[in-house]
Structure 1
């Protein structure tokens, strides 16, 4: 295995720049998510890696081997990559074992080794008891495991996954996420996982490439992406949170302590900086309307949603700025609450 390198990779369809100069160095053995909304270019990027799409510009390399440039293209079968599709792409007339063994057919592998590779791949995804069944006799999660085993059977350097959980219900998605984590730990393969679901990306990947309109906007660990987004767009796309305008502050810094509330004090003449405030960093307390209101920051409750372990409270401040808070109990709609903001991330202008 070797480092996977994307150097200024672009793809243009009829003068529409779908992927725009993406550059990434992906260490071997990484679990990387390509994350972004529909139409951002993440699947096209994956298809270029697989060899299903040509490059308009740039270069792809796996270690010292050039996979593709704008003028040359190594065929998919020579890249030692495996791909798992959203639709599973299993042959309905073949058994599970036959589907898994299909990529080996043209490699002239001796019969004994052929059977062993199929057995090992099926055992890795815990599907050996279903070897003689047909795809139509399996659940969605089981079919996805078969597709993963078929990918694994050729010992790929890189595993490409194109929204593999999109067709599964929530329970199966959670189960398959654990399967992907276990698969990655057992094989040590480099995994590139395309998704528009931030929760999937955050729970599976050790590095995330966030894409918007064909461009790479941030390349970070899940923790850094959540706590230190580089742009307002990323801050709004990743996790729950509110963008508040406040007093001028240094960019790209985590601010804590009593000074956070002063950033949004009602007497501030002009808000000059944007801040990300996560709901868990908003403390609220109901104000008794019959008593004098001395709180520096207040807000009115405009709606709330019960989330099981907590309530998600939606608030509006006197200057019409809105934010979210988490609270263990319901709060009356229309009530006034005091605010204590414990942390904020100052966004770049």
Structure 2
């Protein structure tokens, strides 16, 4: 790890000004950033510590909106009774992420900013070719062991999968990231993350110096009947092979689907909204045959690599089972 300067921010306004200086990184929980510094991926010249700032760690819930502060701990949000009641998918996504120790330290803002778990990205000594780490150097995963890589949203420059859980739930329900820079603005989470294209090192739409200050989730009927399903190689402390965040709203007959939300994790280069599945299900009867047929649409356009083609089969099954669980069929 290289030597760096440490600055304890006075307030959010000064922090965002300091963060605009090249070579600077924001430190909150540190559960991702410090790991990357230790393995030589991140080499900041200066860290701006915002972990102690007040006013950014509250979670408020009403009938219209859930607001989660950027410094709220993952475990605290997951355990919030109002979040569990109004947005089960958010609580479940958080509980299934990382380990208890990490959830107790990691912030919501930091979770949204976490970097990929691609082995080649995280080992610069052994694998110098990584466009995400060193633009123009190539992508070692294309010809390497790529079981955990993306089947959707990939490019010739990068096939690294987005690793998180919370953002998948947020994308499904049109949540927005609140950021502070020279002005305040809201960014839909689906627009916050960028596809790799030929610039995979640019992962999000934050401008230099902008800091995440919170997340807002609209409370819609489908959010109240929601579920997060994560399929992985082991039950604990493992990233998704495929996951699905879903929600359902029924017509008064209790059987016809009025609204449905579907997003996937573990299979794409960013949290992936499965709008084709949603469109296929709205207005349809809720039964297993209809659900499984529509779920197959979630992998339209998928391109498998040598070791990850199993995800093309797995993802529709995860989506279907999540929907059936949300609707009480399983």
TM-score by length of 1: 0.26
Larger Rg: 1
Higher percent of residues as strand: 1
Give TM-score scaled by structure 2 length. Answer: 0.27
